[in-house]
Amino acid sequence: MALNTCLVLALAFALSSLLSAHAGDPDLTTDYSFPDGTTPKFVFRAFRDTLRGAPMDEPFTVKRASQVEFPALTGQSVSYAALRFAPNGINGPHTHPRSSELLLVLQGWLEVGFVDSENRLFSQVIEAGDVFVFPKGLMHFQVNRDTKYPALAIAAFGSSSPSTVVLQKALFDSGIGTDVLAKSFRVDAETIKKID
């Protein structure tokens, strides 16, 4: 009798928890459904060249696997990105407004950091096998300070659509007036035009 009572109470608790759950990620509040009524592919092969070390034309490259590139992720609350850094390559200051980021270094080493809401910098050197977390929405960066060897990392996100706001583009390519930027940076308009 006591066992049945415990089971009923446990089921009632589980059911009430499910009915009253409030998820921070909207992906968690819907069942999985095929995007646009199509049947997506459940394998994403676009990381192969990145992970195998294809020649690099840029100091930094990123290959994303979010719901845009990999529709099977729609509603799954996860996504990845493969990051390749040439020697001295940088992934400049940016944010992900809809997700935290876990960065796993696979090859080489990186200097990484983020700035919190009190303007404190948290910076660390991480090596192959290390994982670093960038809190949701905070400005962060990664730099390969090695002058000879590339670095490779995988980023995991808690959203199928984490979005990226690149600070340089948000400031200088968004149409914000030169006068506003000059006053904000406490420089003259000519300096802003040189930066832009």
Domain-wise residue ranges, the chain:
48-163, 166-196
Residue 193: the pLDDT is 84
Whole-angstrom distance, CA of residue 26 vs CA of residue 138: 20
- pTM of this structure: 0.78
In single-letter form, the type of residue at position 114 comes to F
Which pLDDT tens digit goes with each residue over 50-64? Answer: 788 767 788 999 999
- The average pLDDT across 102-126 equals 97
Distance of alpha carbon 136 from its chain centroid, rounded?
Answer: 8
Helix or strand holding residue 15 (H, E): helix 2-20
| 170 close to 93: Cβ distance less than 8 angstroms | no
Which pLDDT tens digit goes with each residue over 4-30? Answer: 554 445 555 544 544 444 445 454 455
Which pLDDT tens digit goes with each residue over 27-57? Answer: 445 555 565 666 668 899 989 887 887 677 8
Fold of the 48-163 domain: Jelly Rolls (2.60.120)
DSSP track, 151-175: EEEEEEESSS----EEHHHHHHSS-
